[in-house]
């Protein structure tokens, strides 16, 4: 398993998701790639947006991506994982920049990875 995808969301269990991804990466000498996971607006609009949801502005989306990236990179640096693969370490990490990905993109995008590490869905409307 040489490549692991970790969609990063802002919730209380993110640390557990990252711990598991790093544990698997350490066992197999994998590269862990993170990306920002957020509301899948295009799919939600097709079915109607619940009144409690709000559509994120471009600034809100950028802020969410930056917070997710900071969370992911801070975790990797605290575990002394190098940002680029090098000869001294088999485990490395990277970040997929640019945009906020929705749930519908993870399945198709995740096909190029050996493993996708996600949080377990919570009950009702709780985060994973």
| Domain ranges, ordered by start, for the chain | 3-116
Architecture of the domain whose range is 3-116: 3-Layer(aba) Sandwich (3.40)
pLDDT computed for residue 101 by the predictor = 86
The gap from C-alpha 3 to its chain's centroid, in whole angstroms, comes to 14
CA distances from 7 to 4, 14, 38, 106, 121 (A): 10, 10, 9, 8, 13
Q: What is the pTM of this model?
A: 0.80
Q: How far apart are CA 108 and CA 21, in angstroms?
A: 19
pLDDT for position 42 = 53
Range picked from 25-29, 95-99, 123-127 for highest mean pLDDT:
25-29
Inter-residue contact 18 to 6 (CB < 8 Å): yes
**pLDDT grade for 105, boundaries at 50, 70 and 90:** confident
In this predicted structure, what is the pLDDT of residue 49?
52
Give start and end residues of each alpha helix (H) in 1-128. 14-28, 41-47, 58-78, 103-109
Q: Where is pLDDT greater, at 42 or 67?
A: 67
């Amino acid at each position: 398993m040489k490549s692991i995808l970790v969609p990063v969301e802002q919730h209380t269990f993110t640390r557990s998701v990252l711990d598991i991804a790093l544990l698997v990466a350490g066992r197999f000498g994998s590269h862990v790639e993170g990306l920002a996971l957020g509301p899948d607006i295009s799919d939600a609009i097709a079915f109607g947006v619940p009144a409690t949801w709000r559509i994120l502005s471009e600034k809100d989306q950028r802020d969410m991506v930056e917070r997710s990236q900071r969370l992911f990179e801070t975790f990797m640096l605290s575990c002394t994982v190098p940002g680029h693969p090098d000869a001294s370490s088999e485990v490395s990490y990277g970040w997929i920049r640019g945009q906020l990905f929705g749930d519908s993109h993870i399945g198709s995008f995740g096909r190029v990875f050996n493993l996708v590490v996600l949080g377990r869905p919570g009950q009702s409307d709780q985060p994973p």
